[in-house]
Amino acid sequence: MATLTNLPATASTEDIVAVVQRDGAAIVRDLLRPREVDEVLAEVRPYIDATGEGQDDFTGFKTTRTGALVARSPACRALILNSSVLGAARTFLAPYCARIQLHLGQIIRIKPGETRQEIHRDRWAWGTYLKDIEPQFNTIWALSDFSAENGATRVVPGSTAWRDDERPTADQVAVAEMPRGSALVYTGSVFHGAGANESAGDRVGMNLTYSLAWLRQEENQFLSCPPEIAKTLEPEMQDLLGYTLGSYALGYYTPPLPAGEGPEAVAPEHAVGRTPPGGPLGDPELLEWIRQSTTMGTE
């Protein structure tokens, strides 16, 4: 049986990134105190209770998935901004992008009787086009204990560079058993899947994932957290939602106002009442960097 490296809550960003680069996944134990887990659950419980089960075997016929966590829950926002995990996401994805974004936020409750989810890569959300870059850094925060019996995530350490059509043997699969308040961190490329719940209680996890800001988000954050709500949040969260450029000119918009009544191209910060750094299309230094790292502009 394969195993996952367990790191203490005091692990540095570099420690987390080093294990994730080597194995594709790690457990960071006891990041949250019991009271903090209780606060998260108190805020999201009404939404979880009102969420219906999945409609196919991938999302799980006995699994509920609850979203819009940024708009709905300040305690969830604090987890999204957790400095060691977000720091690890930024460091890990830095070779492939100028900025990262929140890709999705979802509470996954696996009820008793649920069967195993198919082993997969989360990067398949974008199909199999992306080959040589790592698009994603993921977390599942344990809001209940995670055990082999109640459906702890099953992960294949070391599978990051496997072909898309490879599948693990039973002894290559590790079970992410961890106490509530811990987090499984894993890449978009590592093979994994939710376990079967053969216990009498729910397994509850919060899946928070980050991706390169030049890719489309799995959970559309502009619809799950529209500008009226995003305006009330801290700038770092606004940026993670996508209310900032993903690169030079990437993500600008034009407010659809009558002729002459509004600006033309503006950066997304405009929608949340902020003045972006650089011009409306972003930092001119970034344009220069693009010029220098490509042959753009040479005849």
Ligand X SMILES: O=C(O)CCC(=O)C(=O)O
Footprint on this chain of ligand X (rule: CB under 6 A):
108, 117, 122, 140, 153, 192-194, 205
By a kind-dependent CB cut-off of 5 to 8 A, residue 140 interacts, out of ligand X, Fe ion, none, with: ligand X
Q: Least distance (Å) from ligand X to the CB of residue 126? A: 13
Among residues 148, 155, 142, the alpha carbon closest in space to that of 196 is found at 148
By a kind-dependent CB cut-off of 5 to 8 A, residue 112 interacts, out of Fe ion, ligand X, none, with: none
Residue at shortest CB range from Fe ion:
122
- Whats the size of the chain, residue-wise? 299
Q: Which long-range contacts (CB under 8 A, 24 or more apart) does 250-254 make?
A: 250/213, 250/214, 250/282, 252/280, 252/281
Exposure class string for 161-197: b at 16+ Cβ within 10 A, else e:
ebeeeeebeeebbbbbbbebbbbbbbbbbbbbbbbbb
Report the residue number, 143 or 272, with the smaller CB distance to ligand X. Answer: 143
Q: Least distance (Å) from ligand X to the CB of residue 198? A: 14
Q: Least distance (Å) from ligand X to the CB of residue 205? A: 5
Report the residue number, 205 or 246, with the smaller CB distance to Fe ion. Answer: 205
Please say whether the dihedral angle defined by the alpha carbons of residues 181, 191, 108 and 145, taken in this order, is positive or negative: negative
Report the residue number, 32 or 108, with the smaller CB distance to ligand X. Answer: 108
Dist CA 255 CA 266 (whole Å): 8
Q: Least distance (Å) from ligand X to the CB of residue 146? A: 8
Report the residue number, 125 or 272, with the smaller CB distance to Fe ion. Answer: 125
Provide the binding-site residues for Fe ion, judged by CB under 5 A. 122
Q: Least distance (Å) from Fe ion to the CB of residue 31? A: 20
Dist CA 173 CA 151 (whole Å): 13
Report the residue number, 122 or 134, with the smaller CB distance to Fe ion. Answer: 122
